[in-house]
Amino acid sequence: MFHKRKGKKMRHMSLSLESNSQYGSLGGAELGPDSPVPDTLSAMAQSIQEDWDRCADLQTRIVDVRGTKVLLVWIRGSVNLSRLELSVLTPLTEIYRERPRLEHIQWALRSCRLNPLRTRREVNQMIADGGVVLYVDGASVALSVDSGDAPGRSVDKAENEPTLYGPQEGFVESLDVNLALLRKRIRSPHLKVESRRVGEYSHSEVSIVYVDNIVKPQLVEEARRRISGLSVDTMSDIYKLMELVTDVPKTVFPMVEETERPDRVVGGLMQGRIALMVDGAPSCFMVPVQFVTLLASADDYYMNFILTLFIRLLRHMAFWLSLLLPSLYVALLTYNQDLMPTPLLISVASQHRGIPLPTVLEALVMMVSFELLREAGLRLPRAVGQSVSIVGTLIIGDAAVRAGLVSAGMVIVVAATGMASFALPVYGFVNPNRQLQYLFVLVAGLFGLVGIVTLGYLLVVHLVSLRSFGVPYMGPIAPLNFHDLKDTFVRAPWYAMDRRPEQMETVNPRRGRTRRPGPTKQSTGENP
């Protein structure tokens, strides 16, 4: 409720509360007819009553400003009432002109950001967005007042992409805050933000973010075309948008790069990529994406390039290890025992003596059990989830080995596979491995190494055939581009990465002209 103020000024201004039960959220799929704003206050109130029926959270106030009636409309919980009182109601009390017109009201509210609303659709959109609509009796337009205070959380650490070095800020559910985090890092007018309304009911704001003198213009145009062609009822998260704008929806591999780190988005924009953001989503995604990009971590760019070499190679090895290790173990024990050294074969065979299940079924049972424990750890409260998953794995694994249901070697292989999958920096890249593991194990149990090689060949063919917004998914490996290999398996020093990726076809391919660092002739004592 507004605070009552005593004094002579308040005697010139009266507030009347209209019934709120007749207003509320949109009564239909549309935001109301796209007709001009009514020219009388009673007609304006009637149009809002028609469009916002049976919604108790809509608030209306009719204010008498020295003979001129002013209508204020907003959604309860989306507006800061203190700001509304200080920036709107208080200035209105300071108007001494009798029967002030719209331009006098605008002058009194000059400290607020005002935008004209000329149609009923624009008025309803502003109300739905959590703004305040101000209408002066007899005016041909309404005004939007910036007094919004939508509920949300403050900027915090990125939960799903933790790093040891570099900034710790992560995106939140507010699109304005997320864009401000990008503006904080790219302080240039070349950072462009194009917004679209998507969703027949939600009317969610979807933004295309890019750097105009770097990105390929056809890439931006393609993003505009795909978003403009969307026809859905709601668009409340980026995952639905991912699936609707991707090139190949029928693949288990991520065709976009999802991230909740502003610094990672800035790095992608500087490479000539674009970011797609949705209001209400605490993350965004970038396109185009390549296979090697998903195996790069933010820490790689905050460490010495020599140290990054080993870590990146380890990460690539972890991907293929998590995918193939259980199937190789099953194939070697089932069909290809002659490829194992004799001492190792004897040791492994002795472990499997008395196991009632075939090797392939034993592997599947252990993999499913591990996945159940992992899912249980995710769904339980954080205080106990990690403890339950770790203790449950140890107890169940030890009990299964002691009971003779599984072998100790199989427990080690499944545990090593799980640890290798956790080494992948992008969580969306872990799920394909978790699903493909079962297919490789089944093929290994039926055909041995021949089945693994055949399925692996089909997998590579599938990866090579993928495109992300026209860019090869396996580039710069296939097709091979030696220049772009500087940031794949290794990260070259910054002075050597002086050009942007060629496969992005950027407008400005030059990244920088910094020379290789080193001592000057004066510092070494040599004559110039």
**pLDDT for res 34:** 78
Cα separation, 193 vs 265, whole angstroms: 14
Cα separation, 292 vs 301, whole angstroms: 15
Residues 48 and 60: beta-carbon distance below 8 Å: yes
**pLDDT for res 373:** 80
**pLDDT for res 386:** 62
> Which helix (H) or strand (E) element contains residue 127?
helix 120-128
Cα separation, 48 vs 46, whole angstroms: 5
**pLDDT for res 41:** 92
Q: Which residues of the chain have pLDDT under 70?
A: 1-33, 148-152, 382-391, 520-528
**C-alpha 504: how far from chain center:** 21
